[in-house]
Amino acid sequence: MDTAWIQVFVLTLSECVAPAGKTVCQEQAFELQFITQADCEYALQQLVSLKEESETVIIDPARASCVPTARQQRVFASLDAIEEANRDKDNWKAPEIEDTGPGVSLASHQERLASLPACGEEGVQAPCKVGDIIVEGGDVDPVDVWHRD
């Protein structure tokens, strides 16, 4: 295991929070780190819209941003090295390897779309197409439904 500098995006949100019924608020700022700029921008947008709905929070948009920076982090040579370093930890979860599958480009999408039958035709099973949308087949994972008591 070595250390290296990696690029991260820091979301900074500056807000002033007042208790209900008070006219004076307490200023505070916090930072969150993200690996991609898109994730940072999305989280910033969601946080700002959520906080703006509150009657007791004022956001300073001039001091809310996603800024690229770098942090020194532990880096590992392989997945085996990560597992070896974290084997004795109770809350260890192995990283998921994303299967990007076939390259998704407009040209490859159009080629595949042209080769598929239309969904709804007699005897047609997925994969098939509905307009410009490809309907994939496969098992459907069960969905947990949570209820508030």
0.75 surpassed by pTM: no
| Cα–Cα distance, 63 to 48 (Å, whole number) | 12
- Taking a C-beta distance cutoff of 8 angstroms, is the pair 44, 11 a contact? yes
Give which of 67, 56, 54, 53 is closest to 13, Cα–Cα. 67
The two structure tokens encoding residue 54: 């509150």
Residue 35: give the domain boundaries: 2-18+26-86
In the predicted structure, residue 103 carries a pLDDT above the cut 60: no
Per-residue pLDDT of 10-51, as tens digits, reads 988 888 888 777 778 888 888 999 989 999 999 999 988 888
| Cα–Cα distance, 34 to 75 (Å, whole number) | 17
Per-residue pLDDT of 56-99, as tens digits, reads 888 888 888 999 999 888 888 888 888 888 888 888 887 777 66
The two structure tokens encoding residue 96: 């998921």
Please report whether residue 92 resides in a domain.
no
Structure-model confidence comparison of residues 122 and 80, the more confident one = 80
Please report whether residue 121 resides in a domain.
yes
What pLDDT score was predicted for residue 98?
67
Q: How many Å is the Cα radius of gyration of the chain?
A: 24
Please report whether residue 114 resides in a domain.
yes
Are 68 and 10 members of one domain? yes
- Taking a C-beta distance cutoff of 8 angstroms, is the pair 39, 7 a contact? no
Q: How far is CA 75 from CA 5, 35, 98, in A?
A: 9, 14, 19
Residue carrying structure tokens 């087949």: 137
Please report whether residue 96 resides in a domain.
no
Reported as a pLDDT band with limits 50, 70 and 90, residue 53 is confident
Are 110 and 82 members of one domain? no
Please report whether residue 112 resides in a domain.
yes
